[in-house]
């Protein structure tokens, strides 16, 4: 009787010496202090097993808490035989669509042999890759109706008429906008968006635009700038600027000649040597009047 109890005590003492964590029961490969979190990282395009650790003395998983995300959860957490597994599930494909955080934390509580429980947290860092194009929203054709004349520096885009690009990559910092084939307008990045993953452009005139007789059409490009070091991605959109016809200002009037010769007759009449005409800007409402300053050329 006494001999057996003594042997028992010795065994427990030896196990305690061999493993300081034995009183907690559960054991996992790579884990010495259960209250320290474990760091792992995956790429945003990753699919599959994120964590696979051999374990012993674990009876099962009591509970799992994943960071609160907009959607998700994105990880499946389970024991497979005696291996502890964290793997991505179907929703992780859409992680960048909905999330801005670069980390997912998974806290698991295990039931251990002997009746105790142990908790362990994995912090999974999601490394960004530039795997998404900038996308023009709502689509890649923008139409603006303006009332000319437009002064130089006139802002075409505003709160109601935006040029908006969505780029869901986790580290996109800004979008570089360019106009490909028109010098009357200039486009710049507008940093005023407060919505994550959405980027605005500011479109302005560079010059005085008196009239828009027909729709002006040109192409703009959007190129993402991020922290991945991957090749940048570019998308194009079409801009159409048309005039609100009801407010159209007539074209600038241009006479065909800068001066006209006329004969002043004995009967006090002015007889033009050629008719006064306009070379540009004729319109039903154009009226002609003689203002002042007739110079008489003495042809004697």
Ligand X SMILES: *[C@@H]1O[C@H](CO)[C@@H](O)[C@H](O)[C@H]1NC(C)=O
**Residues found near ligand X in the complex (CB under 6 A):** 41-43, 49, 52, 73, 76, 80, 83, 85, 89-91, 127, 180, 219, 221, 234-236
Q: Kindly state the smallest distance separating residue 213's Cβ from ligand X, in Å.
A: 24
Nearer to ligand X, 91 or 101 (CB): 91
Nearer to ligand X, 162 or 228 (CB): 228
Q: Kindly state the smallest distance separating residue 75's Cβ from ligand X, in Å.
A: 7
Q: Kindly state the smallest distance separating residue 140's Cβ from ligand X, in Å.
A: 9
Nearer to ligand X, 61 or 262 (CB): 61
Q: Kindly state the smallest distance separating residue 52's Cβ from ligand X, in Å.
A: 4
Q: Kindly state the smallest distance separating residue 257's Cβ from ligand X, in Å.
A: 44
- Dihedral angle, C-alpha 269, 270, 275, 278, nearest 10 °: -120
Nearer to ligand X, 211 or 221 (CB): 221
Nearer to ligand X, 11 or 52 (CB): 52
Nearer to ligand X, 157 or 228 (CB): 228
Q: Kindly state the smallest distance separating residue 85's Cβ from ligand X, in Å.
A: 5
* Chain residue whose CB lies nearest ligand X: 89
């Amino acid at each position: 009787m006494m001999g057996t109890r003594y042997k028992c005590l010795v065994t427990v003492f030896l196990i305690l010496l061999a493993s300081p964590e034995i009183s907690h029961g559960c054991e996992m490969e790579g884990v010495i202090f259960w209250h320290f979190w474990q760091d792992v990282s995956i790429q945003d395009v990753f699919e599959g097993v994120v964590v696979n650790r051999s374990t012993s003395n674990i009876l099962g998983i009591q509970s799992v808490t994943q960071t609160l995300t907009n959607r998700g959860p994105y990880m499946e957490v389970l024991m497979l035989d005696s291996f502890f597994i964290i793997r991505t599930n179907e929703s992780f494909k859409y992680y960048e669509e909905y999330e801005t955080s670069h980390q997912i934390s998974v806290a698991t509580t295990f039931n251990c042999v002997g009746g105790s429980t142990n908790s362990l947290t994995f912090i999974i860092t999601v490394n960004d890759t530039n795997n998404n194009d900038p996308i023009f929203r709502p689509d890649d054709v923008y139409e603006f109706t303006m009332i000319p004349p437009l002064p130089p520096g006139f802002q075409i885009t505003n709160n109601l008429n935006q040029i908006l690009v969505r780029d869901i990559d986790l580290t996109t910092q800004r979008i570089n906008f360019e106009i490909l084939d028109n010098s009357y307008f200039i486009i710049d990045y507008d940093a005023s968006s407060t919505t994550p993953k959405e980027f605005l452009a500011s479109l302005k005139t560079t010059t005085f635009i008196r009239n828009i007789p027909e729709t002006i059409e040109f192409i703009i490009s959007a190129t993402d700038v991020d922290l991945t070091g991957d090749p940048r991605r570019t998308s194009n959109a079409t801009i159409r600027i048309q005039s609100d016809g009801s407010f159209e200002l007539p074209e600038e009037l241009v006479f065909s000649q800068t001066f006209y010769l006329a004969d002043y007759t004995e009967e006090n009449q002015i007889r033009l040597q050629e008719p006064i005409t306009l070379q540009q800007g004729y319109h039903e409402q154009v009226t002609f009047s003689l203002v002042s300053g007739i110079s008489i050329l003495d042809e004697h």
